[in-house]
Amino acid sequence: METGVPGKIAFVVKGYPRLSETFIAQEILALERRGFDIGIVSLRHPTEKDTHPIHDEISAAVLYLPEYLHREPRRVLKAWWWMRRHPRYPAALRIWLGDLRRDFTRNRFRRFGQALVLGHELPAGTTHIYAHFLHTPASTARYAARILGLPWSCSAHAVDIWTTPEWEKREKIEDCAWLVTCTAYNRDHLASHAPDGDRVEHLYHGLDFSRFPAPDREGGAGNGAGGRDGTDANDPVVLLCVGRAVEKKGLDILIEALARLAPSLHWRLLHIGGGALLPSLKRQARRLNIASRIDWLGPQPQQAVLARYRAADLFVLASRIARNGDRDGLPNVLLEAQSQGLACIATRLSAIPELIEDGVTGLLVTADDAKALAGALTTLITDTEQRARLAGAGMARVRERFSFDAGIERLAAKFAEGVRHPQQQAKSPCASPSTRP
């Protein structure tokens, strides 16, 4: 029955707040400004001391679930004591046991325990549960929603799509009310697992251009024709890379490519981001005798990153498919860099060609090809006119086709439908008859 006013939506996320997931905060704030009542549910506590200004603008309360069940046993047992009495609990338990048989891991136990706590402590008036990421957050959201009889939905991105087993993707997509994903490449893959053509929808995250206004000088600090061209040792071309030091970002390939550049070219790489691979990458740079030309800046707040975009000459991201199948979808950093008139070099992978047209709005090379990457770097370090042309075309394209507004309006419409008809969707959770509560 239609309530006339949207109920509360519980956003289930991996961790909050996170510097690398500003797109989630951007989404929450935009929905709050459209009148939605949001509650944030985080599977983990924050690990970074810095936050973005956008986090201060969000009014939603945050519920932190037990990150490790053994650290809060009384809270977990209390939740189980109450949730086991729910008439839908046996059906949810059967779903979890079926998952556990195929994935007998500590993580699977943790997600069910977190789901019990979520169900027990869910704020009053919650009518919809929405998970960001199809892997662990969606598992917690699904189990809790099944017990409570609430509709749930999901936003899928990158690592969650490509590291989740096929059986699990299929069953979650069948069970949820709807799923959105941030690229056409992802949509085509996920739609092949869906029971109908309407279950999966493609919505670009896009950029909020009020937070990424056009730079004062078109083309950025060094992107204009006649700018830095690598010939002046006292004024090297500034290369920028923003991304976590993880396998799928291809930073080792970037370092190898930089080592292949002619000694006569003068450049400096700035890297922004944390990650477990930083020590090995620094060792690689020292072994290749280019360590003195790289600054490892670590994680940075948004305003600091914005300033780096505007001061750099060239942005480079060597995305690749990791050994576990993980890969980028459409990295937001490419949109951000192009919005600031920064020419970009990236790899021909996943949804990146949906943004960058090779030779028109940037340069694309084959993933894992250090030689090709070195060639593209040489071209745009030395050819300032081409760099300026690509920078201008990239900025025009991202501002024309990748605005945040279109996606958030569509998402708001889906939530309005879902939270105003909770009973209708709860009775039709897209599950098989044998598992329906």
The residue segments making up the domain with residue 388 are 237-401
Q: Does residue 69 sit in the same domain as residue 174?
A: yes
Instruction: Using alpha carbons, list the distances in angstroms from residue 144 to 68, 86, 432.
Output: 17, 11, 18
d(C-alpha 276, C-alpha 421), whole Å: 44
Q: Does residue 390 sit in the same domain as residue 371?
A: yes
List the one residue out of 243, 226, 220, 223 whose CA is nearest residue 339: 220
Predicted local confidence at residue 79, as pLDDT: 98
Q: Does residue 263 sit in the same domain as residue 181?
A: no
Burial class (CB within 10 angstroms; exposed 0-12, middle 13-18, buried 19+) of 67: middle
Q: Does residue 127 sit in the same domain as residue 260?
A: no
Output the six-digit token pair for 192: 């092949």
Output the six-digit token pair for 292: 């003195």
For the chain, the domain total comes to 2
Q: Does residue 188 sit in the same domain as residue 309?
A: no
Residue 184 lies in a domain: yes
Pairing of strands 37-44, 179-181: unpaired
Q: Does residue 245 sit in the same domain as residue 131?
A: no
Predicted local confidence at residue 1, as pLDDT: 31
Give, for all 437 residues of the chain, the pLDDT tens digit. Answer: 333 346 899 999 999 998 778 889 999 999 999 999 999 999 999 887 778 888 999 999 999 999 999 999 999 999 999 999 999 999 999 999 999 999 999 999 999 999 999 999 999 999 999 999 999 999 999 999 999 999 999 999 988 999 999 999 999 999 999 999 999 999 999 999 998 878 999 999 889 898 899 997 554 445 555 689 999 999 999 999 999 999 999 999 999 999 999 999 999 999 999 999 999 999 999 999 999 999 999 999 888 999 999 999 999 999 999 999 999 989 999 999 999 999 999 999 999 999 999 999 999 999 999 999 999 999 999 999 999 999 999 999 999 999 988 889 999 999 988 654 444 444 433 333 233 33
Q: Does residue 242 sit in the same domain as residue 372?
A: yes
Q: Does residue 44 sit in the same domain as residue 186?
A: yes
Q: Does residue 180 sit in the same domain as residue 324?
A: no
Predicted local confidence at residue 21, as pLDDT: 84
Predicted local confidence at residue 431, as pLDDT: 35
**172, 134 in Cβ contact below 8 A?**
yes
Predicted local confidence at residue 406, as pLDDT: 84
List Cβ neighbours of 378 (8 Å cut-off, separation of 6 or more): 261, 262, 265
Q: Does residue 250 sit in the same domain as residue 365?
A: yes
pTM of the entire predicted model: 0.82
Determine how many CB atoms are found less than 10 A away from the CB of residue 264. 8
CA 145 to chain centre: 23
Q: Does residue 395 sit in the same domain as residue 408?
A: no
Q: Does residue 353 sit in the same domain as residue 268?
A: yes
Q: What is the CATH number of the domain that holds 178?
A: 3.40.50.2000
